[in-house]
Amino acid sequence: MLYIGVDIGGMSVKAGLVDENGSIIVKDTAVTRAQAPAEEIVADIAALVRKVADEGGVALSALGGIGVGSPGSVDDEAGVIRYSCNINFVRTPFVELLGGMLSVRNVKISNDANCAALGETVYGAGRGARNSVTVTLGTGVGTGIVVDGRLLTGNKSAGAEGGHVIIKAGGEKCGCGKRGCFEAYASATALMRQTARACERHPESGLAKLAKERGIDGRTAFMAAKAGDKVAKRVIGNYIRYVGTGLVGFANVFYPEVFIISGGISKEGDALILPLRRFVQKNAYGAEYNPPIDVVAASLGNDAGIIGAAALAMRG
- Binding to a copy of itself by CB under 8 A, coded x per residue (else -) over 154-183, reads xxxxxxxxx-xxxxxxxx----x-x-x---
Site string for a copy of itself, 114-133 (x = CB under 8 A): ----------------xx--
Least distance in angstroms from the C-beta of 219 to a copy of itself: 24
Question: Restricting to residues 137-156, which ones interact with a copy of itself according to CB under 8 A?
Answer: 143, 145, 147, 152-156
Q: Do 69 and 28 contact (CB within 8 A), yes or no?
A: no
In angstroms, rounded to a whole number, what is the distance separating the alpha carbons of residues 65 and 49? 11
Q: How far is the CB of 283 from a copy of itself (least distance, A)?
A: 6
Cα dist. 10→32, 44, 92 in Å?
Answer: 6, 14, 16
**Largest pairwise CA distance in the chain:** 66
The residues with which 179 forms a beta bridge, in sequence order, are 173
Pairing of strands 132-137, 80-83: unpaired
Q: Report d(CA 222, CA 243) in Å as an integer.
A: 15
Closest to 77 in 3D by CA, of 120, 42, 111, 100: 111
Asked if 78 touches a copy of itself (CB under 8 A), the answer is: no
Residue 160 DSSP code: -
Q: Write down the least CB distance from residue 263 to a copy of itself, Å.
A: 18
**61 versus 285: smaller Cβ distance to a copy of itself:** 285
- Give the separation between CA 297 and CA 259, rounded to whole angstroms: 8
Nearest to a copy of itself of 59, 169 (CB atom): 169
297 DSSP β-pair partners: 261
- What is the bridge-based pairing of β-strands 294-297 and 80-83? unpaired
CB closer to a copy of itself, 17 vs 247: 247
Considering only 64, 256, 263, 305, the residue that binds a copy of itself (CB under 8 A) is 256
CA nearest to 100, candidates 44, 56, 32, 42: 42
Residue 112 interacts with a copy of itself (CB under 8 A): yes or no = no
Ramachandran angles phi, psi of 15, nearest 5°: -140, 145
Using CB under 8 A, count the residues that bind a copy of itself: 50
Asked if 229 interacts with a copy of itself (CB under 8 A), we say no
Residues 274-303 that bind a copy of itself (CB under 8 A): 283, 285-286, 289-291, 293
Query: What amino acid is encoded at 259 in this protein?
Result: F
Specify the residue, 179 or 226, whose C-beta has the smaller distance to a copy of itself.
179
Under the criterion CB under 8 A, does residue 255 sit at the interface with a copy of itself?
yes
Q: Which of 90, 122, 94 is nearest to 107 (CA)?
A: 94
Pick between residue 27 and residue 164 the one whose CB is nearest to a copy of itself. 164
Q: Judged by CB, which is closer to a copy of itself: 152, or 273? A: 152
Position 3 contacts a copy of itself (CB under 8 A): no
Residues of this chain that bind a copy of itself (CB under 8 A): 73, 82-83, 130-131, 143, 145, 147, 152-162, 164-171, 176, 178, 180, 241-242, 245, 248-257, 283, 285-286, 289-291, 293
